[in-house]
């Protein structure tokens, strides 16, 4: 497992399965709870895909 730091101005996204969305349309806290044997959350670094958040989000969306 590799851990890295990113600039504070950068952005990350996290895939959350549909069951992690509450009736009110907001994410449940369980979407950010570590599983057994995990010591960090998995995220996507949006600036990896280049400039433009909309384009980066689309790249991540297509990956899933």
Of 21, 3, 25, the closest CA to residue 12 belongs to: 3
Residues 34/41, Cβ–Cβ less than 8 Å: yes
Those residues with Cβ within 8 angstroms of residue 53's Cβ, 6 or more apart along the chain or in another chain = 11, 46
DSSP category for residue 13: E
| Predicted pLDDT of residue 2 | 64
Mean pLDDT of the chain: 88
Q: How far apart are CA 19 and CA 46, in angstroms?
A: 24
Give 46 or 4, the one with higher predicted confidence: 46
| Predicted pLDDT of residue 21 | 95
Structure pTM?
A: 0.67
* pLDDT tens column, 33-63: 998 998 888 888 999 888 789 999 998 888 8
Measure CA 17 to chain center.
11
């Amino acid at each position: 497992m590799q851990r890295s730091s990113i600039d504070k101005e950068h952005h990350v996204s996290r895939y959350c399965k549909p069951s992690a969305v509450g009736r009110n349309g907001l994410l449940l806290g369980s979407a950010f709870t570590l599983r057994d044997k995990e010591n960090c959350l998995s995220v996507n670094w949006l600036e990896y895909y280049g400039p433009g958040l909309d384009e980066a989000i689309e790249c991540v969306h297509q990956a899933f």
